[in-house]
Amino acid sequence: MPQVRILEISEEWAGQRLDNFLVRECKGVPKSHIYKAIRSGQVRVNKGRVKNEYRLELGDVVRIPPMRMPDPDVAPPVPPAVFPVVFEDDYLLVINKPEGVAVHGGSGVSFGVIEQLRAARPEQKLLELGHRLDRDTSGLLIIAKRRRSLVAIHDMFREGQVDKFYQALVEGDWVNSRQHIKAPLLRWLTASGERRVRVDPQGKSAHTIVSLLKRFGSYSLVEAELKTGRTHQIRVHLANEGFAIVGDDKYGSDAVRAQFAQWGFKRMFLHAARLRMRHPITEQWLELEAPLPLACTQIIDTLEKQR
């Protein structure tokens, strides 16, 4: 039977969020059970209650309550997968994530990119997400291969030291060559429990810089640079300006999505195209690019011909 475990945080795990630490320690336990254990106070740090986003410190003592663990001799049913590699060294792996694949399991998804990469690279001691992309967004995704690089990457994102540029096809004729959008964003849940975001004075500050790339009359191709990293930030900022992303099933037009589906385009046109940063360990400059997926280039060709 599962028993209470008391773990002391070593230097290797210092700085990691509590919920991420527990997901690693309690392999196979649903995330919903882990979050419930944190909220109810069954998980304790230094004998006190903490929130799931608490960052562990060296020497912290974590109490993990009894949780039914999977049979350690039974491999998890995660199919290994190989994704296009844009950059790799001893510390980092940067891939071009396809659209429609979650970055991790949870919320009704059994597994995601990170679980499939671990299954495909069993010899790799550590593979952790440096950041996240929406399931329906394609493009550059950073994975850390060492604890040291993971902590550094998280610090860099928190301090705004990573420049991320996305390409999006939006509804409407975008005019300004360059525009700053500064609007606070608030997360909320629909009656069905679906996560959404809206512009709200009570929300967290958010800043997106949008540059025009090409106009197609009723549609425009733009580049969005993230200055902050809020949930659904680009999608909500563009929709709030009246230029929702084509194919966005949360903030876009159903009629536009249906029209593009008739042309064979059945995804959201949002792609993490460029990344600029210093390597977290070697400090060399990295400027990485992921080309637009075929479906996106084909729909641009369609719009070009119509124009």
Q: Which residues are catalytic?
A: 134
Count Cβ atoms below 10 Å from residue 222 Cβ, excluding itself: 22
CB 141 within 8 A of CB 101: no
Distance CA 297, CA 294 (A): 5
Residues 6+ apart with CB under 8 A from 50: 18, 38, 43, 44
CB 262 within 8 A of CB 206: no
Distance CA 296, CA 281 (A): 34
